[in-house]
Structure 1
Amino acid sequence: MSGFLAGLCAAALPLLAAGYWLGRRTTRPQSLGGLGTPVEHATFQTLHTASLAAPPLRAGLTEETARKAARRLRSLLGTDALCLTDDTRVLTWDGVGAHHRGEIMEHLTGPLETGRGEAFRLTCRAPDCPVRWAVVAPLTVDDRVHGALVACAPRESAVLVRAAAEVARFVSVQLELAELDRSRTRLIEAEIKALRAQISPHFIFNSLAVIASFVRTDPERARELLLEFADFIRYSFRRHGDFTTLADELHAMEHYLALVRARFGDRLTVTLQIAPEVLPVSLPFLCLQPLVENAVKHGLEGKTGTCHIRITAQDAGSEALVVIEDDGVGMDPELLRRILAGEVSPSGGIGLSNVDDRLRQVYGDDHGLVIETAPGAGMKITVRLPKYQPGVHSATRLIES
């Protein structure tokens, strides 16, 4: 089950009691529209309203997200007014009585420090203002108070105290999911930076050394290789987006292979077989080049003679199948397992575990690298890429769960 659905169920189900109470007050049998009993109708309305309030909150607690969610949250509680705050100010006020902002903030010091809810009377000289009482429910993420949900009503209500606490818990769950999303994004960015750091030092040195060797003997060849080098570096260090297309990734890989072939000459041969229909398929940025570099490394190191690398990308129904195969020295399967598990650091830091981790994070554990190898038997790496666009997979998996 996806994080969103789990969070919605965990936080929304306790709201049903409040939804049932509100439904008894506001729902008439003749307005059910075929949804069944008043209790069933109230349950549906509560869950539906909660689902509408959740998406803005998944972006964190800001003025904009609070404003978008406040009206739905107030509808859940059926109150005259509702406001959301951070730890210093009111982010949004929905409903009547906005002139109570200052008074509300004065009462928030205790709840924000202790993380405990409070209820208090409001002082108001406006005769037409219905707001006379407020309930404060703190919003907590990882045991730290980030703000508060404040529900305002004409009079005290024990039901409203409970309902406000449950709605605040629902909001807190969404904020926790938002923090998890941000943590995941930061992790992916850190892994890409780490992968760049692993690739760059030795590759840049070797490439520049090869280019320098052609400067006097073949200036035109040196110029061509310098352009290949510039294009590959520009792609590797780009900053827009975590995803790319298979076409762009293969194009960058060709720049890399041109530099490698210039270095090793006839010792390295590469065969590519690419189905045109899979070129638009999306995949995590900088996934294929580390696998090709791994093939070059294990195909040439510790081996005399030539190395042949075969790269194929085929249409496999709902997936694109990418295979990178070399006839090099291979590897002990147990050592490979430990490398992918992070128990052993690979020599040269080629990044197989980095790519495997990112594929699993994006597509699930069943889409990690499939590697076949043995000492002296070369290595075959298979990558299965779903054809849906980035971001669509979560909805697909939600439906399946």
Structure 2
Amino acid sequence: MPDSPLLTAAAIAVIAMAIAVVVAVGLKVLRSFRELGTDAERATYKTLHAASRAGQHLRTGLNPAGAAKASRQLRSILGCDALAITDTAGVLAWDGSGEDLKPALMRLAADVLSGGRTAVINAGELLPPGAPGDKSSRQRAAVIAPIKAGTRVVGVVAAFAPAAGAGLVRATSEVADWVAAQVELAELDASRTLLMEAEVRALRAQISPHFIYNSLNAIASFINTDPVRARELVVEFADFTRYSFRRHGDFTTLAEELRCIDRYLLLERARFGDRVQVSLRIAPEVLSTVIPFLSLQPLVENSVRHGLEAKAGPGHITIAANDSGAFAEVTIEDDGVGMDPEQLRSMLAGHSDGDHVGLRNVDARLRQVYGEDNGLVIETAPGEGTLITMRVPKSQPRHDA
């Protein structure tokens, strides 16, 4: 065919153009990935990324392991030759050159630790005359800024550079303030843990006086008339108290808590007889759900003490646990004397004292662990009984039973 060379040339040209377009588009895409925005945007990202990584290492407070890892990130933010972090007792971390200055740092930081004001130490003043140190140390200046947690100075951040300009002074002070915020968050986490432990101790204290006394009296009443049952109740009492006063762990499983409740109700029925009737409706798939330790037993005890004990004749408690999507939903319902909703609301808010301290403590712990929207839901009215609902996530990777 006479025109086949022309067609071939045209096809080659089309292919070459297609390749050129693909290459051009590819280069443009690669360039856009490489640029990742303007210089200012890249600098902002780099700073925020370094701060985020440093913050992860400081969330447990000022300690050598966390400070050593955080100091690398903080030095990159300041762009200084070396950076050190101390507490009030000694140097926790040093990153960068000039470690011959490390033994002198606490002496240099003494005024900052005592007065709480940033200090600038010029070149040549870092080491006293005659002190060992290389030439580079004597050419280096330092900015030492206090780390303040509240009104307390808990340490310093020290930045070393060839000269201490106004920019480095301001930046080092800001970094020290940021470290202080991380330390305060760590202290807040520790305080929250201590508060939860104190509330568990309060629940244990609530159990011990009245329940132990009444249980022992009930057991004593069976010693002569039914010694076999008395021995069984002693075993149940021992198991209940062993669980309630255990010293390890803030969490347990729903199954363990239900076993504790079963022992509790056995002992209460020994005292009240047929006046306390109980129904259970438990979905097997939620038995392994992790819940705060001693979060259900006080709710059942509230139903017995304040719902049924004051009621004439027999009373009924229904304990149910159901699968509700991502949550396990537990309800405890009694047909007892009920309570005044306004008085209950005031007590849960901590505005008034009352006999329902167990409810308040459990409600507060649930909100601390799972957030403000996950406290107890209580429906009640005088003479109408009480329905308490508790919802907890079925997946809790950070909580071990």
The answer, yes or no, to whether TM exceeds 0.5 is yes
Q: By how many angstroms is 1:186 displaced?
A: 1.2
Tell me the equivalent position of 1:335. Answer: 343
Q: Counterparts of 1:265 and 1:297 in 2: how far apart (Å)? A: 14
Tell me the equivalent position of 1:314. Answer: 322
Q: By how many angstroms is 1:356 displaced?
A: 1.0
Tell me the equivalent position of 2:174. Answer: 166
Q: Counterparts of 2:384 and 2:205 in 1: how far apart (Å)? A: 30
After superposition, where does 1:1-400 map in structure 2 within 5 Å? 33-121=34-122, 122-123=126-127, 125-127=133-135, 129=137, 132-347=140-355, 349-389=356-396, 391=398
Q: By how many angstroms is 1:62 displaced?
A: 1.5
Instruction: Say whether the 8 Å CA contact 2:329–2:392 is kept in structure 1.
Output: yes
Q: By how many angstroms is 1:390 displaced?
A: 5.8
Deviations 1:154-178 (A, max 9, x none): 2233222121111111111100101
Moved over 4 A (4+): 29-32, 128-131
Tell me the equivalent position of 1:9. Answer: none
Q: By how many angstroms is 1:316 displaced?
A: 0.7
* Structure 2 counterpart SS, 1:209: helix
Q: By how many angstroms is 1:37 displaced?
A: 1.6
Q: Which amino acid aligns with 1:65?
A: G
Q: By how many angstroms is 1:32 displaced?
A: 6.9
Q: By how many angstroms is 1:45 displaced?
A: 1.1
Q: Counterparts of 1:272 and 1:75 in 2: how far apart (Å)? A: 60
Instruction: Say whether the 8 Å CA contact 1:84–1:90 is kept in structure 2.
Output: yes
Range that drifts further, 150-159 or 186-195: 150-159
Q: Counterparts of 2:58 and 2:339 in 1: how far apart (Å)? A: 48
Q: Counterparts of 1:104 and 1:209 in 2: how far apart (Å)? A: 67
Distance 1:96 1:30, change over 3 A: farther
Q: Counterparts of 1:320 and 1:34 in 2: how far apart (Å)? A: 48
Distance 1:32 1:72, change over 3 A: farther
* Structure 1 counterpart SS, 2:135: coil
Instruction: Say whether the 8 Å CA contact 1:87–1:147 is kept in structure 2.
Output: yes
Q: By how many angstroms is 1:130 displaced?
A: 8.1
Distance 1:224 1:33, change over 3 A: farther
* Structure 2 counterpart SS, 1:342: coil
Q: Counterparts of 2:377 and 2:322 in 1: how far apart (Å)? A: 16
Instruction: Say whether the 8 Å CA contact 1:290–1:350 is kept in structure 2.
Output: no
Q: Counterparts of 2:238 and 2:309 in 1: how far apart (Å)? A: 26
Distance 1:177 1:358, change over 3 A: same
Tell me the equivalent position of 1:22. Answer: none
Q: By how many angstroms is 1:350 displaced?
A: 4.8
Q: By how many angstroms is 1:131 displaced?
A: 6.0
Q: By how many angstroms is 1:340 displaced?
A: 1.4
Distance 1:203 1:312, change over 3 A: same
Distance 1:118 1:129, change over 3 A: closer
Deviations 1:46-93 (A, max 9, x none): 111111111221111122221221111112212221111111311121
Instruction: Say whether the 8 Å CA contact 1:131–1:152 is kept in structure 2.
Output: no
Q: Which amino acid aligns with 1:316?
A: S
Instruction: Say whether the 8 Å CA contact 2:308–2:335 is kept in structure 1.
Output: no
Distance 1:108 1:51, change over 3 A: same
* Structure 2 counterpart SS, 1:388: coil
Question: What RMSD, in angstroms, separates the aligned Cα atoms of the two structures?
Answer: 2.0
Q: By how many angstroms is 1:31 displaced?
A: 11
* Structure 1 counterpart SS, 2:92: strand
Q: By how many angstroms is 1:181 displaced?
A: 0.8
Task: Provide the identity percentage.
Answer: 58
Instruction: Say whether the 8 Å CA contact 1:32–1:38 is kept in structure 2.
Output: no
Range that drifts further, 156-165 or 275-284: 156-165
Bigger Rg over Cα? 2
Tell me the equivalent position of 1:4. Answer: none
Q: Which amino acid aligns with 1:235?
A: Y
Distance 1:40 1:130, change over 3 A: farther
5+ unaligned residues in a row in structure 1: which ranges?
Answer: 1-28, 393-401
Q: Counterparts of 1:142 and 1:367 in 2: how far apart (Å)? A: 30
Q: By how many angstroms is 1:125 displaced?
A: 4.1
5+ unaligned residues in a row in structure 2: which ranges?
Answer: 1-29
Instruction: Say whether the 8 Å CA contact 1:130–1:153 is kept in structure 2.
Output: no
Tell me the equivalent position of 1:395. Answer: none
Q: Counterparts of 2:350 and 2:83 in 1: how far apart (Å)? A: 49
Q: Counterparts of 1:301 and 1:75 in 2: how far apart (Å)? A: 67
Q: Greater relative contact order: 1 or 2 (C-alpha under 8 angstroms, separation 6 or more)?
A: 1
Q: By how many angstroms is 1:248 displaced?
A: 1.3
Q: Counterparts of 2:180 and 2:32 in 1: how far apart (Å)? A: 33
Distance 1:298 1:105, change over 3 A: closer
Q: Counterparts of 2:390 and 2:139 in 1: how far apart (Å)? A: 61
